[in-house]
Amino acid sequence: MARVANMKDLGAAIDWHLMVFDDAAGRFESVKRWDIHEPHDSSHPFKVQVGGVTYLYLYGNWRVPASLEALSGLSFVRADSSAF
Protein backbone atom coordinates (compact mmCIF):
# COMPACT_ATOMS: atom_id res chain seq x y z
CA MET A 1 0.00 0.00 0.00
CA ALA A 2 1.26 3.50 -0.82
CA ARG A 3 0.07 7.08 -0.77
CA VAL A 4 1.37 8.94 -3.81
CA ALA A 5 1.42 12.64 -4.66
CA ASN A 6 1.38 13.32 -8.41
CA MET A 7 3.31 16.60 -8.42
CA LYS A 8 2.99 19.50 -10.88
CA ASP A 9 6.06 21.15 -9.33
CA LEU A 10 7.65 21.39 -5.88
CA GLY A 11 4.78 23.51 -4.55
CA ALA A 12 1.60 21.95 -5.90
CA ALA A 13 0.20 18.47 -6.49
CA ILE A 14 -1.99 17.55 -9.46
CA ASP A 15 -3.67 14.89 -7.33
CA TRP A 16 -3.04 12.22 -4.72
CA HIS A 17 -3.58 8.45 -4.99
CA LEU A 18 -3.99 5.50 -2.64
CA MET A 19 -2.22 2.63 -4.37
CA VAL A 20 -2.11 -1.11 -3.71
CA PHE A 21 0.45 -3.54 -5.09
CA ASP A 22 -0.98 -5.92 -7.72
CA ASP A 23 1.05 -9.13 -7.38
CA ALA A 24 -0.10 -10.51 -10.74
CA ALA A 25 0.85 -7.33 -12.65
CA GLY A 26 3.96 -6.69 -10.55
CA ARG A 27 3.15 -3.01 -9.99
CA PHE A 28 1.19 -0.57 -7.84
CA GLU A 29 -2.34 0.27 -9.03
CA SER A 30 -4.39 3.29 -7.97
CA VAL A 31 -7.49 2.30 -5.98
CA LYS A 32 -8.49 5.82 -4.96
CA ARG A 33 -7.80 9.29 -6.41
CA TRP A 34 -8.17 12.47 -4.38
CA ASP A 35 -8.44 15.95 -5.87
CA ILE A 36 -5.89 17.35 -3.42
CA HIS A 37 -3.37 19.98 -4.53
CA GLU A 38 -1.28 20.42 -1.39
CA PRO A 39 2.41 19.56 -1.74
CA HIS A 40 3.97 16.27 -0.71
CA ASP A 41 4.19 15.63 3.04
CA SER A 42 6.21 12.61 4.10
CA SER A 43 4.71 10.14 6.55
CA HIS A 44 5.92 6.78 7.84
CA PRO A 45 2.84 4.94 9.18
CA PHE A 46 3.04 2.49 12.03
CA LYS A 47 0.49 0.05 13.52
CA VAL A 48 -0.85 0.39 17.06
CA GLN A 49 -3.62 -1.48 18.87
CA VAL A 50 -5.84 0.71 21.04
CA GLY A 51 -8.78 -0.80 22.89
CA GLY A 52 -8.68 -3.92 20.68
CA VAL A 53 -8.75 -1.90 17.43
CA THR A 54 -5.76 -1.83 15.07
CA TYR A 55 -4.91 1.63 13.74
CA LEU A 56 -2.32 3.04 11.40
CA TYR A 57 -0.78 6.16 12.83
CA LEU A 58 0.14 8.41 9.92
CA TYR A 59 1.85 10.93 12.16
CA GLY A 60 2.30 10.96 15.91
CA ASN A 61 -1.27 12.16 16.51
CA TRP A 62 -3.20 11.25 13.31
CA ARG A 63 -4.66 7.77 13.02
CA VAL A 64 -7.00 5.71 10.86
CA PRO A 65 -8.44 2.21 11.37
CA ALA A 66 -6.12 -0.25 9.58
CA SER A 67 -8.40 -1.14 6.67
CA LEU A 68 -8.41 -0.28 2.97
CA GLU A 69 -11.96 1.05 3.30
CA ALA A 70 -10.98 3.47 6.07
CA LEU A 71 -7.86 4.59 4.21
CA SER A 72 -9.90 5.34 1.08
CA GLY A 73 -11.97 8.08 2.73
CA LEU A 74 -10.91 11.59 3.61
CA SER A 75 -12.89 11.81 6.85
CA PHE A 76 -11.03 8.93 8.49
CA VAL A 77 -8.26 10.78 10.24
CA ARG A 78 -8.62 12.03 13.78
CA ALA A 79 -6.14 13.53 16.13
CA ASP A 80 -5.41 11.35 19.12
CA SER A 81 -2.50 11.02 21.47
CA SER A 82 -4.11 8.75 24.07
CA ALA A 83 -2.04 5.74 22.97
CA PHE A 84 1.20 7.43 23.98
pLDDT band at 79 (very low <50, low <70, confident <90, very high): low
Q: What would the mean pLDDT of 1-24 be, rounded to a whole number?
A: 89
**Per-residue pLDDT reduced to its tens digit, 15-71:** 989 889 999 999 999 998 988 888 767 778 888 898 898 988 876 677 888 888 888
Do residues 48 and 32 both lie within one domain? no
Do residues 23 and 56 both lie within one domain? no
Q: What would the mean pLDDT of 1-8 be, rounded to a whole number?
A: 86
**Is the whole model's pTM more than 0.75, yes or no?**
no
Do residues 66 and 33 both lie within one domain? no
Long-range contact pairs involving 3-12 (C-beta distance under 8 Å, separation at least 24) = 3/43, 4/28, 4/30, 5/39, 5/40, 7/39, 7/40, 10/39, 11/39, 12/37, 12/38, 12/39
Do residues 61 and 75 both lie within one domain? yes
Q: What's the domain count of the chain?
A: 2
Do residues 28 and 51 both lie within one domain? no
